[in-house]
Amino acid sequence: MPTLTVDLDRSSPVPLYYQVAQQIEQAINEGRLAPGDRLDNEISLAEQFGLSRPTMRRAIQELVDKGLLVRKRGVGTQVVHGQVSRPVELTSLFDDLSAHHRTPHTEILGNEVARASDEVAAMLAVPPGSRVLHLRRLRFAHDAPLAVMENWLPEDLIPLGEMDLAGRGLYQLMRSKGVNIRVAKQRIGARAGTPEECLLLGEKRGSPVLTMERAAHDDSGRAVEWGRHAYRASQYSFEVTLVEH
């Protein structure tokens, strides 16, 4: 079992159970507690942290309710895959998962040159029927499927092999080839997942998915990528910081 430590401020108005829950959640998000890791039982943890058993039980229940921990008969309390909270910034999902120690990897569902539909042509500012690169990928975090991603790029933008796409994020690959993404327009929504999406994501048929469409331009103003992604609503959320001016 991993060693778990918490730093409690007993003079704080923040309840002790909440302080414990927050620090365990932070350990999960930072990868110090990995999926599958087991925690000591509540009695041992309560003694270790100098807490009452009801306080420790409430802290654990807080994380069970969030989907970060699960209680299993005969096994104990285990870490499971927590929800990914992603800031709305000009970054790729691969970058964000890597930054939060979520161990991303990718299954390539499609990597081909296709003819641009009217919709794709409009988003990439190319004539309809133009040759474009069409990518379909399934992105994992800690070996759990998280997102079905579909992207279109101008054919002549950069060469993309399957080994590249499997091991690195699209924006990371673009930057390494000298493509400097400067601005993007993004739309976030939600809908019921298609049968294929639910199958790929390990969700029940008709489960909700969060959606994101993004059109990105480089520093010359050229449209370099249009993406349409579907994320597991049970495991994923977008995070926005609002500032009053």
pLDDT of residue 12: 86
Closest listed residue to residue 23, CA positions, set 88, 12, 120, 94: 12
Q: What is the pLDDT along the chain (245 residues), one digit of tens a residue?
A: 567 788 888 888 888 999 898 888 888 877 788 777 888 888 888 898 999 999 999 999 888 877 778 887 777 788 875 555 554 455 556 655 655 555 678 899 999 999 999 999 999 999 999 999 999 999 888 778 889 999 999 999 888 887 878 878 888 888 888 888 888 888 889 999 999 999 999 999 999 998 999 898 888 888 999 999 999 887 776 666 555 54
The pLDDT, as a whole number, for residue 98 is 55
Helix (H, G, I), strand (E, B) or coil at 224: strand
| Cα(38)–Cα(17) distance, integer angstroms | 19
Strands (E), the chain: 38-39, 69-72, 76-79, 84-87, 104-115, 131-141, 144-154, 181-192, 208-218, 223-232, 236-239
Phi and psi at 182, nearest 5°, equal: -110, -40
- Give the pLDDT confidence score for residue 174 in this predicted structure: 87
Give the pLDDT score at 207. Answer: 92
* Collapsed DSSP state (helix, strand, coil) of residue 22: helix
Q: Quick one: pLDDT at residue 1?
A: 57
Strand order in the sheet with 69-72: 38-39, 76-79, 69-72
Residue 85 β-bridge partners: 237
Q: Per the confidence metrics, is the pTM higher than 0.95?
A: no
pLDDT at site 245: 45
Q: Note the Cα 1 to chain centre separation in Å.
A: 26
pLDDT at site 77: 85
Residue 197 to residue 226: CA distance in whole angstroms: 19
CA distances from 7 to 10, 21, 24, 184, 236 (A): 10, 11, 11, 41, 28
Kindly give the interhelix angle for 16-29 and 53-65, rounded to the nearest 10 degrees: 40
pLDDT for 155 equals 92
